[in-house]
Amino acid sequence: MKRVITYGTFDLLHYGHINLLKRAKALGDYLIVAVSTDEFTRLKKDKKCYFSYEQRKGLLESVRFVDLVIPEENWDQKINDIKEYHIDTFVIGDDWKGKFDYLKDEGVEVIYLPRTPEISTTQIKEDLNHP
């Protein structure tokens, strides 16, 4: 069974996120999604999510091609996650291109998928504030 993992904040879950998750699942048989905790999101991006970690986790668990949701608590857990969950493939959007190539040393495939254009959580917030 080919096991795939991806990481993200996934706030205000939208079709760009879903497109990424759908393509990630298509690369294997089992998809794990590591969602940034509220604390890490504040640290990582100095941003506050609209939805809490528990709400974001619940939404992702409702997506039929997501098999497991785990917390992303820091930048450095990826290598441990790869070992703990026996990951074959790491996937993320190409806004991160090159940033996670070091994971190849752990024997996993690292794939950067094209982002879905014109949609982002930031854009949604801006559009709602300035209709």
Contacting residues toward ligand C2G, per CB under 6 A: 7-10, 16-17, 20, 36, 72, 92-93, 95, 115-116, 119-120
- What's the token pair of residue 128? 């709602």
Q: Is 104 a catalytic residue?
A: no
What DSSP line would sit under 44-94, residue for residue? HHS---SS-HHHHHHHHHTSTT--EEEEE-SGGGHHHHHHHTT-SEEEEEG
Q: Which of 130, 131, 122, 97 lies closest to 111, judged by CA?
A: 97
- What's the token pair of residue 48? 């506050």
| Residue 56 Cβ vs ligand C2G, minimum distance, rounded to whole Å | 9
Given a contact cutoff of 8 angstroms between Cβ atoms, the answer to whether 53 and 71 are in contact is yes
Q: Is 45 a catalytic residue?
A: yes
Nearer to ligand C2G, 5 or 88 (CB): 5
| Residue 23 Cβ vs ligand C2G, minimum distance, rounded to whole Å | 8
| Residue 68 Cβ vs ligand C2G, minimum distance, rounded to whole Å | 16
Instruction: Name the residue whose CB lies closest to ligand C2G.
Output: 93
Residue tagged active-site, from 2, 45, 83, 125? 45
Nearer to ligand C2G, 30 or 96 (CB): 96
Known catalytic residues are 45, 47
